[in-house]
Amino acid sequence: MRTAIELAHNGPAGGVNPRVGCVILDPDGTVIAEGWHRGVGTAHAEVDALSKLAESGARGATAVVTLEPCNHTGHTGPCSEALIAAGVTRVVYAVSDPGHASGGGAARLRAAGVEVIDGVQADEVEDFLEDWLTAARLGRPRITVKWASSLDGRAAAADGTSRWITGAAARQRVHEQRKASDAIVVGTGTVLADDPSLTARGDAGELLATQPTPVVVGMRAIPKDAAVFRHPHPVLFEGTHDVAEVVRDLHARGFRRVYVEGGPTLASAFIAAGLVDEYAIYLAPTLLGGSRLALGDIGVGTIGEQRRLRIRSVENLGVDLFVSAVPEHVTPEGD
Q: Which residues contact 27 (CB under 8 A, 6 or more apart)?
A: 60, 61, 62
Task: List the single range of 103-107, 145-149, 209-213, 280-284 with lowest mean pLDDT.
Answer: 103-107
**In terms of domains, do 31 and 81 share one?**
yes
**In terms of domains, do 149 and 256 share one?**
yes
Question: Residue 151 sits in a domain of what CATH number?
Answer: 3.40.430.10
**In terms of domains, do 33 and 86 share one?**
yes
**In terms of domains, do 112 and 206 share one?**
no
Residue 36 phi/psi, 5-degree rounding, is -150, 160
In a domain, 300, yes or no: yes
pLDDT of 55 over the 90 cut: no
The number of domains in the chain is 2
**In terms of domains, do 147 and 275 share one?**
yes
Which of 116, 135, 154 is where one domain is finished?
135
More confident residue, 186 or 101: 186
Task: For residue 279, list its beta bridge partners.
Answer: 145, 325
**In terms of domains, do 51 and 158 share one?**
no
Which of 119, 135, 151 is where one domain is finished?
135
Full-prediction pTM beyond 0.75? yes
Q: Give pLDDT tens digits for 171-206.
A: 999 999 999 899 999 999 999 988 999 999 998 889
Q: Give pLDDT tens digits for 288-306.
A: 999 999 999 999 999 999 9
Question: Residue 12 sits in a domain of what CATH number?
Answer: 3.40.140.10
Q: Is 4 helix (H, G, I), strand (E, B) or coil?
A: helix
In a domain, 334, yes or no: no
Q: State the catalytic residue, choosing from 6, 34, 46, 333.
A: 46
**In terms of domains, do 216 and 291 share one?**
yes
In a domain, 333, yes or no: no
In a domain, 332, yes or no: no
The answer to whether 81 is a known catalytic residue is: no
Bridge-based pairing of strands 31-36 and 21-25 is antiparallel
Which of 107, 135, 163 is where one domain is finished?
135
Average pLDDT over residues 57-83: 90
**In terms of domains, do 101 and 173 share one?**
no
Domain that holds residue 31: 2-135
Cα–Cα dist 213/260, whole Å: 12
Burial 258-289 (b: 16+ CB within 10 A, else e): bbbbbbbbbbbbbbbbebbbbbbbbbbeeebe
Cα–Cα dist 248/259, whole Å: 15
